Amino acid sequence: MQTSAANEMGLIARILAGEKELFHELIRPYERMVFLTLFSIVKNETEAEDGAQEAVISAYRHLSSFRGEAKFSTWLTTIAINEGRKRLRKAKGAAEESIDERIEGQEGEYTPAPLTDWREIPLEALERKELREVLRVAVAELPDIYREVFTLRDLEELNVEETAQALGINAGAVKVRLHRARILLQKRLVPLLKTMAPARRSFFGRAR
Amino acid sequence: MKVDCKHVWEHISEYIDNGVDAKLREEIERHLEHCEICSAILDSTRNILVLTADDRTFELPVGYSERMHKRLAKELASPEQDSDDK
Ligand SMILES: [Zn+2]
């Protein structure tokens, strides 16, 4: 889905040389990514959409400062993160931001929910609104620093280095936060997903 | 060294990402062969990651892309302005 890097650099050069309209094309593969990044920070659809537009406009205005040391997607993600944090600060005031950082040091609660048998929930089950909702709520309830990393790594599929670069943290921190995010999700979701599917066959419409 | 359950849990995320070295990978896999708890934890975690990453789980707002490009078109049409929006 993503444009090749060389192709992309070519597009950027042409935009900067005056073919402004090509910016639509440049940005199209990343629309979802920009939204998810904003949403992971501001946790509100309308706010995330407004922020996504701002981030994209900002990327356009600052395109000449993109030098290609990072991938365009990483650069754009950084802009989206900054936009999200700016909005968050405006909404909450700066005081709250530091609370979250303390979570990082804690050990012990990052153990998975034990179980002896997991019956796979197929992708078709996502047709059910309740399931999508349960998943979204679980992600939304992750501590901010874990949700950000989880979003970049597992939803947007940035690699560890790109995630580290975009968030301004080191690769080790990305791995630790991702690990904790995944464990917290497993712990939270396993009991819910189990009770959501008591009679799985009919529930997921396998009889269809 | 024989790995126990806790040891497997500590490396589960890296194991999923193929980030553990060959030796540890082999130890984990040997453990998984006879530990139904760790196997179920691994399966459930993988399953949850696949479900959350599906585009349907986090949907874009209806009309998001259209509005984005409309806004962008307006920006592109406006005369060069070097004033930015810090
Ligand atoms: Zn075990």
- The ipTM is 0.89
Q: What percent of chain A has pLDDT over 90?
A: 77
CA dihedral A161, A162, A167, A171 (to 10 degrees): -10
**pLDDT over threshold 80, residue A151:** yes
Q: What is residue A92's predicted lDDT score, i.e. its pLDDT? A: 76
Per-window interface: B 35-64 vs A, CB < 8 A = 36-37, 40-41, 43-45, 47-61, 64
| Domains identified in chain B, total number | 1
Please give the Cα distance from A48 to A39 (Å, whole number): 5
B72/A27 CB distance under 8 A: yes
Domains of chain A: 5-97 (1.10.1740.10), 118-202 (1.10.10.10)
A155/B85 CB distance under 8 A: no
pTM (predicted TM-score): 0.87
Overall residue count recorded for chain A in this entry: 208
CA–CA distances in Å: residue A145 to residues A70, A174, B16, B29? 22, 10, 21, 31
CA nearest to B28, candidates B46, B9, B54, B45? B9
Q: What is residue A197's predicted lDDT score, i.e. its pLDDT? A: 61
Tens of pLDDT, residue by residue over A4-62, are 788 899 999 999 999 999 999 999 999 999 999 999 999 999 999 999 999 999 999 99
Q: What percent of chain A has pLDDT over 70?
A: 85
Q: Render each residue's pLDDT in chain B as its tens digit; 86 residues.
A: 567 999 999 999 999 999 999 999 999 999 999 999 999 999 999 999 999 999 999 999 999 999 999 999 999 998 765 544 44
- Segment A127-138 mean pLDDT: 96
3-state DSSP call for residue A156? coil
Containing structural domain, residue B58: 5-85
- Segment A143-168 mean pLDDT: 96
**pLDDT over threshold 60, residue A156:** yes
Measured from the Cβ of residue A58, the count of other Cβ atoms closer than 10 Å reads 18
CB contacts < 8 A (A, B) = 138
